């Protein structure tokens, strides 16, 4: 059974049909890259999977549990949305770090907020805080940022900020890590820093969905590639097949345009 199964996902904004009957699956430990032109629906799809947008149609199942079914009102409860989002870690293209907190505090924040809801929090506050800090420091070390733990976002480069954002997403141990154009706000030198981290995560079999415009990275790292155009999945397959030997004319036109 796939870790993630999304079927028939549709999303409209007024009379604009942004997603049209999208279906995809993701195995545990797999890296899926989603490519396509601006406006093809890539980011909206990612936001629907993370419940930052509500799909109008379709079904989302994670690890055998139905998180969303457009035909089942029981899955529509607003009170359950935050719990559903915990299955996904999302890294935005513009970092979205809290400027008033250090790198370490940014990584720890979500865990601390969740911990306060535990019935044993008051009695074990110090221990819980120490455990969260230890985990956060280990994640920053994994990102190559041990010496930046006490720095605020404005004291960090764009690449460093994005690596803090990745550590923050990993801190809650999500089932699936999602990236929305993680290098689009970075210059080429800083892009390399972030892509190295993503390559390491892929090598460690982190389950990932990556919306990206980095074709070389997608070819090297993704187990599968999904090409979207006009709100539909046009082509899906291995990186070698989709990028090097595309079957569909729309895919070939996109890749030809991208390489010029």
Q: What is the pLDDT of residues 182-206, one digit of tens each?
A: 998 898 888 999 999 999 999 999 9
C-alpha closest to that of 161 among 208, 89, 103, 109: 103
pLDDT at residue 31 greater than cutoff 90: yes
For residues 220 and 33, give the distance between their C-alpha atoms in angstroms, rounded to a whole number: 11
pLDDT at residue 83 greater than cutoff 60: yes
For residues 250 and 15, give the distance between their C-alpha atoms in angstroms, rounded to a whole number: 24
For residues 190 and 192, give the distance between their C-alpha atoms in angstroms, rounded to a whole number: 5
For residues 42 and 44, give the distance between their C-alpha atoms in angstroms, rounded to a whole number: 6
Residue 64 within any structural domain of the chain: no
pLDDT at residue 117 greater than cutoff 80: yes
| Contacts for 34 with CB less than 8 Å, ≥ 6 apart | 42, 45, 46, 209, 210, 211, 212, 225, 226, 227, 228
Q: Given pLDDT bands bounded at 50, 70 and 90, which one contains residue 103?
A: very high
What integer pLDDT is reported at residue 246 of this predicted model? Answer: 96
Residue 41 within any structural domain of the chain: no
Residue 146 within any structural domain of the chain: yes
C-alpha closest to that of 145 among 169, 130, 166: 166
Q: For the chain, what percent of residues have pLDDT higher than 90? A: 86
Average pLDDT over residues 98-119: 95
* Structural domain harbouring 127: 98-157+164-173
Residue 104 within any structural domain of the chain: yes
Residue 78 within any structural domain of the chain: no
What integer pLDDT is reported at residue 80 of this predicted model? Answer: 87
pLDDT at residue 260 greater than cutoff 60: no
Residue 123 within any structural domain of the chain: yes
How many Cβ atoms are within 10 Å of 172's Cβ, its own excluded? 15
What integer pLDDT is reported at residue 244 of this predicted model? Answer: 92
| Domain count of the fold of the chain | 1
Residue 2 within any structural domain of the chain: no
pLDDT at residue 61 greater than cutoff 90: yes
Q: The tokens 């079927």 sit on which residue?
A: 7
pLDDT at residue 15 greater than cutoff 80: yes
Q: For the chain, what percent of residues have pLDDT higher than 70? A: 99
pLDDT at residue 258 greater than cutoff 80: no
pLDDT digits (tens, 9 = 90+) for 202-252: 999 999 999 999 898 999 899 999 999 999 999 999 999 999 999 999 999
What integer pLDDT is reported at residue 78 of this predicted model? Answer: 85
Q: Given pLDDT bands bounded at 50, 70 and 90, which one contains residue 259?
A: low
To the nearest 10 degrees (0 to 180), the angle between helices 158-171 and 125-142 is 130
Q: Given pLDDT bands bounded at 50, 70 and 90, which one contains residue 1?
A: confident
pTM, full prediction: 0.93
Type and span of the H or E element at 161: helix 158-171
What integer pLDDT is reported at residue 170 of this predicted model? Answer: 97
Residue 252 within any structural domain of the chain: no
Contact 180, 88 (CB under 8 A): no
Selected residue with higher pLDDT from 78 and 134: 134
């Amino acid at each position: 059974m796939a870790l993630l199964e999304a079927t028939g996902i549709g999303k409209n904004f007024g009379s604009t049909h942004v997603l049209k009957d999208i279906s995809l699956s993701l195995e545990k430990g797999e890296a899926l890259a989603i490519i396509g032109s601006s406006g093809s629906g890539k980011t909206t799809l990612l936001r629907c999977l993370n419940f930052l947008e509500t799909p109008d149609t379709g079904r989302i199942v994670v690890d055998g549990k139905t998180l969303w079914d457009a035909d089942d009102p029981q899955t529509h409860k607003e009170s359950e949305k935050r719990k559903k989002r915990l299955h996904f870690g999302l890294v935005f293209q513009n970092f979205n770090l809290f400027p008033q907190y250090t790198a370490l505090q940014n990584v720890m924040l979500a865990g601390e907020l969740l911990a306060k809801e535990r019935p044993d929090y008051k009695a074990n506050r110090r221990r819980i805080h120490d455990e969260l800090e230890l985990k956060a420091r280990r994640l920053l070390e994994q990102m190559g940022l041990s010496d930046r733990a006490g720095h605020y976002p404005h004291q960090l480069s764009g690449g460093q900020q994005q690596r803090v954002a990745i550590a923050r997403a990993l801190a809650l141990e999500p089932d699936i890590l999602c990236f929305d154009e993680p290098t689009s706000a970075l210059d080429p030198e800083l892009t390399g820093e972030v892509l190295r981290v993503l390559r390491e995560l892929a090598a460690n079999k982190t389950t990932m969905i990556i919306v990206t415009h980095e074709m070389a990275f997608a070819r090297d790292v993704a187990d599968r590639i999904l090409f979207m155009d006009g709100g539909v999945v046009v082509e899906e397959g291995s990186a070698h097949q989709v990028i090097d030997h595309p079957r569909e004319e729309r895919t070939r036109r996109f890749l030809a345009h991208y390489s010029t």
